[in-house]
Amino acid sequence: MTLAVEVRNLRRVFRTRSGMLAAERVVRAVDGVSFALPAGQVLGIVGESGCGKSTLARMILGLLPPSNGEILVDGRSLASMDRRERARLIQPVFQDPFSSLNPRQRVRDIVGLPLAAQGNVSDRQQRDRVMEMLGRVGISAEIADRLPAQLSGGQRQRVAIARALVLHPRIVVCDEPTSALDVSVQAQILNLLVELRRDLQLTYLFISHNLAVVEHIATEVAVMYLGRFVEQAPVDALFRDPRHPYTRALLASVLTPEPGKGIPDVGLGETYPDPANIPPGCRFHPRCPMALERCRTDAPDNIVSHGRLTECLLAETASGT
């Protein structure tokens, strides 16, 4: 099985200063992430705001250079590719279709732009491929002449998907693609993404804060916390048997539509994670309900066993290493 995306020890540091005399803030947004994503799979990445999931997505899309580490797409170094080559392999779908579509361009031109940018497609070919792709995502020909402002949120996201797929990329990075949509529309878009992956043999990197959405679409799930993957496992294993205390807390926090169950007590306390101030030892220890004394000082290693990864001292003890 070939690897669609492989990432080795990826890091990204941002340095900001709020004033001339203020101390420099060093934000370790992505702090040592490695994974290998086989072609045709969907890696769901879940985590809360500020965990670095969007920074990771932007690096894999080539929109942001890493501070350290390596990204291989389709077996080749992303850094060695030019923009056109990269665009043919990997494409994004972003959260907010209101800001990711040019408001002055008609739908057909928005979707045609990646083809035009490649420079080797005739006008006629471009028109045909745009209309074919719009048809696939459920956008009718009459809508092709409209401006984004004349579309609903769901239609805009369909247009964004058509633009991402018009070059027939191998990999699509979806960054919260349904988070700005109402539930009834979210379901339409998720179903469309599932169908397109099956029909076009796509590989997705699917980022979301919504665990249920990720469970629906992913084959493999990584849980990100303060810049690292703290747990990674096949989707069923992760949801059936979560091992990291943070994953458990995340799952316990999901409010399923089941009356009578009440609001769960997730036991995470009042501290909130700050990527500019990553705690020593295990980065989750200030919020962890199961933290031991040594979690304050000893950073856990990635424990890999039976196809899953857990970064927790408790898991180390449990697996006998």
Partner 1 sequence: MTPVLEASNLHVTFGTSIAAVRGISLTVARGETHCLVGESGCGKSVTALAIMGLLSRTAHRSADILRFHDHDLTRLSERGMARLRGDRIAMIFQEPMTSLNPAYTIGSQMAEVFERHRRVSRTIALDRAAELLHRVGITAPGMRLKQYPHQLSGGLRQRVMISMALMCEPELLIADEPTTALDVTVQAQILRLLQNLQRELGLALLLITHDLGIVARIADRVSVMYAGEIVESALTGPLFAAPTHPYTRGLLRCIPVPGQVRRDEPLGSIPGVVPRIAPEFIGCSFRERCAFAMPDCARDVPRQRAAVDHDYLCRLPPDWTRAEAA
Quick check: 259 binds partner 1 (CB under 8 A)?
yes
Q: Which is nearer to partner 1, 66 or 242 (CB)?
A: 242
262 binds partner 1 (CB under 8 A): yes
Residues 69, 32: Cα–Cα separation, whole Å:
8
Exactly one of 268, 291, 295, 315 binds partner 1 (CB under 8 A); that residue is 268
Residue of the chain from 124, 258, 306, 321 that contacts partner 1 (CB under 8 A)? 258
**Least gap, CB of 10 to partner 1 (angstroms):** 23
Number of helical (H) and strand (E) elements in the chain, helices listed first: 10, 12
Containing 28, the helix (H) or strand (E) segment is: strand 25-38
Task: Write out the DSSP string of 126-151.
Answer: HHHHHHHHHHHTT--GGGGGS-GGGS
Residues 106-135, interacting with partner 1 (CB under 8 A): none
Sign of the Cα torsion 308, 312, 317, 320 reads positive
Least distance (Å) between residue 188 CB and partner 1: 4
- Which of the ranges 70-78, 188-196, 199-207, 290-298 carries the binding residues for partner 1, by CB under 8 A? 188-196
303, 231 in Cβ contact below 8 A? no
- In Å, what is the CA distance from 135 to each residue of 104, 139, 158, 196, 213? 22, 5, 10, 12, 25
Distance CA 292, CA 14 (A): 31
For residues 197 and 169, give the distance between their C-alpha atoms in angstroms, rounded to a whole number. Answer: 11
Per-residue DSSP letter, 185? H
Residue 185 contacts partner 1 per CB under 8 A: yes
In whole angstroms, the minimum distance from the beta carbon of 226 to partner 1 comes to 13
Candidate ranges 53-61, 103-111, 114-122, 208-216; the one touching partner 1 (CB under 8 A): 208-216
Binding mask 50-79 for partner 1 (x = CB under 8 A): ------------------------------
Concatenating the DSSP letter of every residue in 212-267 gives HHHHHH-SEEEEEETTEEEEEEEHHHHHHS--SHHHHHHHHH---S-TTS------
Does residue 209 belong to the site contacting partner 1 (CB under 8 A)? Answer: yes
- Beta bridge partners of residue 174, listed in sequence order: 93, 206
Site for partner 1 in 218-247 (CB under 8 A): 239-240
| Of 23 and 263, CB closest to partner 1 | 263
- Which residue lies nearer to partner 1 by CB, 48 or 85? 48
Classify strands 228-234 and 220-225 as parallel, antiparallel or unpaired: antiparallel
Among 1, 21, 23, 255, binds partner 1 (CB under 8 A): 255
Residue (of 87, 139, 134, 130) closest to 112 by Cα position: 130
Question: Cβ 154 to partner 1, closest distance in Å?
Answer: 7
**Smaller CB separation from partner 1, 129 or 285:** 285
Q: Judged by CB under 8 A, which of 36, 237, 266, 292 binds partner 1?
A: 266
Q: Select the span of 75-83, 139-147, 182-190, 300-308 touching partner 1 (CB under 8 A).
A: 182-190
* 8 A C-beta contact, residue 233 and residue 308: yes
Measure the CA–CA gap between 142 and 125, rounded to whole angstroms.
Answer: 19
Q: Which of residues 145-174 bind partner 1 (CB under 8 A)?
A: 152, 154
Judged by beta carbon, residue 76 or residue 198, the one nearer partner 1 is 198
Q: How many Å apart are CA 249 and CA 239, to the nearest integer?
A: 12
Nearer to partner 1, 191 or 319 (CB): 191
The residues binding partner 1 (CB under 8 A) are 48-49, 152, 154, 182-188, 190-191, 194-195, 209, 211-213, 215-217, 239-240, 249-266, 268, 270, 272, 274
